[in-house]
Amino acid sequence: MIKIYATLPVTTASVERSFSKLSLIKNKLRSLCREDRLSDLMLISIEQDLEINHREVIRIYKEMAPRRMLL
């Protein structure tokens, strides 16, 4: 029983932050968004402090093989 209590999170601050971000994102204009789009918007909002090396992203994209599909 003690092992179960030890695995429970002490705080739910991350969950509370997520719901706070959700309430900021989901307003009347966005209330009809699909779930996957809403999830993507939340992720962008939560991870906005993440630094992205744009040159590295461009380099990786250039090195990717072309993906063409026969129609």
pLDDT values of the chain reduced to their tens digit, one per residue, 71 residues = 555 555 655 566 666 777 777 776 666 556 666 777 777 877 777 777 778 888 998 999 899 887 776 76
pLDDT for the residue 25: 66
pLDDT for the residue 42: 77
Residue tagged 């932050």 (tokens): 17
- Contact between 18 and 46 under an 8 Å Cβ cutoff? The reply is yes
First to last CA, the chain: 59
pLDDT for the residue 46: 75
Whether 54 maps to a domain, the answer reads: no
Q: Supply the pTM of this predicted model.
A: 0.36
CB atoms under 10 Å from CB of 10, counted, come to 5
pLDDT for the residue 50: 75
54 phi-psi bin (left φ>0, alpha ψ -120 to 50, beta other): alpha
Q: Which domain holds residue 39?
A: 2-47
Q: How many domains are there within the chain?
A: 1
Whether 63 maps to a domain, the answer reads: no
Whether 6 maps to a domain, the answer reads: yes
pLDDT for the residue 65: 81
